[in-house]
Structure 1
């Protein structure tokens, strides 16, 4: 796959994945097309025989996924080549009883999910997508994904004439300033669940739904992702953090050969990862343990394995370069970034960083490093959590981006493909130890 095709497919993936549920659904379609078979966690799994190849994937909560390419070699001796990312992004989620009627306008109450940058949400064409749970005409409880796709809402800004200090002192109140506006309505009350039932029936006419019981729905910007810039040097899109990494890891897994390779994409990273589907939950460990014959085999396999935790890095912004350490300002289109923190907010150490530099050199790709300013706080990733849960050697890597956690983020148009090429080498790597 060349750079142009890689980016074209990336934009399609981003467009089709407005929520973690949709992202996992999109990934399962790619995996199934490549010969991966689903496993259900409630079923009894056969332990793969030594020397046998297999391709499995497991989904939890419709929003997290683990895919395993068993190459035929014993992971006890050769280990797993693991790539981890997360499916969730900061957004506005609809509250359980969201209906708001004010001055003849119908709005929805929303809750801020994760550390969202709120100002860019104003004056955007917004749609709504996610998972709904419903009762069908047989009295059964079911769930389905929906996506309104078109712009159905907006959060209008207050005119500067009514707030003369808007450009210097405006703060966003998450309770009262951001409920999206959906329509004019003179009705004293509008039942949001009835609107969802109509959309579900329109989108899935065969389900015969009679009642919406509950939902997990998020607003998103309908502006499609795009390659932009005078020289097409940038990719602009919502949810680059961290669907960009999910896509890179997926493509690397699909090109894996005879080594044992794993892709894990967890939900709930933006809110701490502590859930049944998050990195601090048991999902990944449970899946890998069940593919091995004994606890001893699992411990030995982890000792031979390496995890590359892939989550976007902060590129040095030309207007705010003083926010970076002077020697550690990653540049867009200059390669993937090794993320380092002395206090273990990132899991990279000298050995795992050296391994990644070695694989980058073998792939002919550049590599950069990021350390946060010593007088600023540092974010984190699933890397330290996964390392702690599994006892696996881990390195934190990311593609440099601008406007992280905004409704629309910016990355270099060459960096994702560059990291993909490094992960290809990683997935073919032999010995993964430093003597």
Structure 2
């Protein structure tokens, strides 16, 4: 199931599922901090064509300077009288946010914070004549690149949502290739591992005897508050769960299912930084002020699953479903280029697979005095 083509929910129904039984869920988010092209991006200064962008989420914006950037996103086009949703990713470098030379800002290495209105304009250096009215909002050069990539005429282009992205591909790094250097690890790492864990859990015989529904929920817009129609705080989850639980013979099936369910909220965690060791890096996330949903009970469930599948764990709400916050550790979080350990992909996938397969059994062993 998708909403807005940017949030995804996938599920597998256990062979012994009955209305009122629980849901074994893993939630993650699909979006990452980035620079997005403004709805009116056209600007020209000192003979340069500039594309206006705005900050999405809480990025480390100075990491976006002096990088070979391009555009990616979705475009709405009109084809044969139909409105069609198309994805686009231009692979070659198109844009750049150049730093001002150190000779003109001697304190650049002491403190750097760009003015989000004046300094975050990306540059390209060619001019084109106006072809149609859409060019009053965006430079003709930008529109022509999109049309060329999509194979459509400018008149077919209706609207778009575009992000800037680095053209440097992800890579394995370190002496032993033990690290992943990549954009958007937060939180596509969790999305990938959740999906892979769900698929692998369904490849054996365990689904046939599962009394639960296994589900992953991958939401958009977490980086800006999750309050959109496709965000985690929308009614999307409740609608899907209530539809799956619906039964003419059990009108309270959804209400019964909620306390019998469990969700792992999977989002990347801060690894211990070797140069800033006072900043901790938990994987199971706790906070006394309830910034996370983890409790002693939910943490114990995950610890038990992890011990059974031999995955090590580090330790430093609305639906009435018990939740634990967990995530793989990473460095350079919210930078244009992040890093994590290659082992975290295997460990996260194994943990999520084990959770889907073992949660009903672990829950049945939980005794509250």
The answer, yes or no, to whether TM exceeds 0.5 is yes
Higher relative contact order (CA 8 A, sep 6+): 2
Indicate if the aligned counterparts of 1:124 and 1:221 stay in contact, CA closer than 8 A. yes
Separation in 2, partners of 1:254, 1:195: 43
**What residue in structure 1 maps to residue 9 of structure 2?**
66
Separation in 2, partners of 1:428, 1:278: 27
Give the structure-2-normalised TM-score.
Answer: 0.89
Within the candidate set 141, 152, 158, 1:213 is matched to: 158
Separation in 1, partners of 2:233, 2:130: 44
Q: CA RMSD in A?
A: 2.1
**What residue in structure 1 maps to residue 320 of structure 2?**
391
Note if 1:236 corresponds to 2:178.
no
In the TM superposition, residue 402 of structure 1 has moved relative to its aligned partner by 0.7
**What residue in structure 1 maps to residue 40 of structure 2?**
97
Within the candidate set 293, 297, 320, 2:246 is matched to: 293
**What residue in structure 1 maps to residue 83 of structure 2?**
141
Over residues 371-391 of structure 1, what are the superposed CA-to-partner deviations in whole Å (9 max), with x where a residue is unaligned?
A: xxxxxxxxxxxxxxxx31x21
Tell me how many residue pairs correspond in the alignment.
349
Within the candidate set 153, 167, 170, 1:225 is matched to: 170
How has the CA–CA distance of structure 1 residues 75 and 251 changed in structure 2, closer, same or farther, with 3 Å as cutoff? farther
Within the candidate set 99, 107, 110, 2:50 is matched to: 107
Q: 1:5-404 maps to which residues of 2 (within 5 A)? A: 58-74=1-17, 76=19, 78-136=21-79, 138-185=80-127, 191=135, 192=138, 194-195=140-141, 197-205=143-151, 210-257=155-202, 258=207, 259=210, 260-294=213-247, 296-324=252-280, 329-330=281-282, 337-370=283-316, 387-388=317-318, 390-404=319-333
Secondary structure class of the residue paired with 1:289: helix
Over residues 105-127 of structure 1, what are the superposed CA-to-partner deviations in whole Å (9 max), with x where a residue is unaligned?
A: 11111110000111100111111
Separation in 1, partners of 2:355, 2:254: 21
Secondary structure class of the residue paired with 1:171: coil
How has the CA–CA distance of structure 1 residues 254 and 195 changed in structure 2, closer, same or farther, with 3 Å as cutoff? farther
**What residue in structure 2 maps to residue 422 of structure 1?**
351
Separation in 1, partners of 2:263, 2:102: 50
Separation in 1, partners of 2:178, 2:85: 41
In the TM superposition, residue 424 of structure 1 has moved relative to its aligned partner by 1.2
Within the candidate set 315, 339, 348, 1:410 is matched to: 339
Question: Which ranges in structure 1 are unaligned for 5 or more consecutive residues?
Answer: 1-57, 331-336, 371-386
Question: Which ranges in structure 2 are unaligned for 5 or more consecutive residues?
Answer: none
Indicate if the aligned counterparts of 2:304 and 2:362 stay in contact, CA closer than 8 A. no
How has the CA–CA distance of structure 1 residues 222 and 172 changed in structure 2, closer, same or farther, with 3 Å as cutoff? same
Separation in 1, partners of 2:166, 2:86: 21
